[in-house]
Amino acid sequence: MDEIKLYTIIIFTENKPGVLYRIADMFLKRKINIESLTVSEIESQEMSRFTIRVKGDHLAVEKITKQLYKIIEVVKVLEKTDEALVFKELALIKVATSNAEKMRGVEDIVRMAKAEIVAVGSTYLVIEKAGSEEDIDSLYALLKPFGIKEYVRSGRIAILK
């Protein structure tokens, strides 16, 4: 058994209804859990680009890559490890800031982490961070003690080097 790694699978498909369902079903059938998923239109309007992050050994990922081609609407499938990609994820984090001292603390962290404050409320700040999954995880860990009210991540987008 190969070592378990994170892989990014990029799938180009015809932009037709039901394709997401077919792709999700393929992962379900092989019991591979999807860590994150983004779908977007690409340059050509009739095509979609799926970026799917999965954990697995190389053989399992290679097998699903081949099986994804069985979906008629699938045109191209690429499976890559991080070294071959430029990638980013976007996160929005709403942090509780009940007093000025806490607010300053959050501001310091945001500056250090090269994140951005995108909304200010009387009791919270909304922070936006674009970066690797690890960057976002560590920012989240730093902000957690302040009290996180809401948190959302986009899933990875990636481009080939």
| Binding to another protein, residues 98-157 (CB under 8 A) | none
Question: If binding is defined by CB under 8 A, does position 31 make contact with another protein?
Answer: no
Question: If binding is defined by CB under 8 A, does position 69 make contact with another protein?
Answer: yes
Q: Of how many residues is the chain composed?
A: 161
Considering the complex, state which of residue 31 and residue 161 has its C-beta at the smaller distance from another protein.
31
CB of 20 to another protein, least distance (A): 11
User: Letter for the amino acid at 19?
Assistant: V
Going from the C-alpha of 89 to that of each of 38, 53, 119, 134, 159, the distances in angstroms are: 10, 11, 19, 10, 12
What does the block give as tokens for 126? Answer: 């909304």
Other Cβ atoms less than 10 A from the Cβ of 77: the count is 20
Question: If binding is defined by CB under 8 A, does position 66 make contact with another protein?
Answer: yes
Binding part of the chain for another protein, among 50-58, 70-78, 101-109, 131-139 by CB under 8 A, reads 70-78
Binding part of the chain for another protein, among 48-56, 73-81, 85-93, 111-119 by CB under 8 A, reads 73-81
Considering the complex, state which of residue 55 and residue 58 has its C-beta at the smaller distance from another protein.
58
Considering the complex, state which of residue 73 and residue 137 has its C-beta at the smaller distance from another protein.
73
- Phi, then psi, of 108 in degrees rounded to 5: -60, -45
Rounded CA Rg of the chain:
19
Site mask, another protein, residues 33-62, x = CB under 8 A? -----------------------------x
Residue 103's SS3 state is helix
Please list the alpha-helical segments (H only) found in 19-90.
Answer: 19-29, 58-68
What residues make contact with another protein under the rule CB under 8 A? 13-14, 18, 21-22, 25, 29, 62-63, 66-67, 69-75
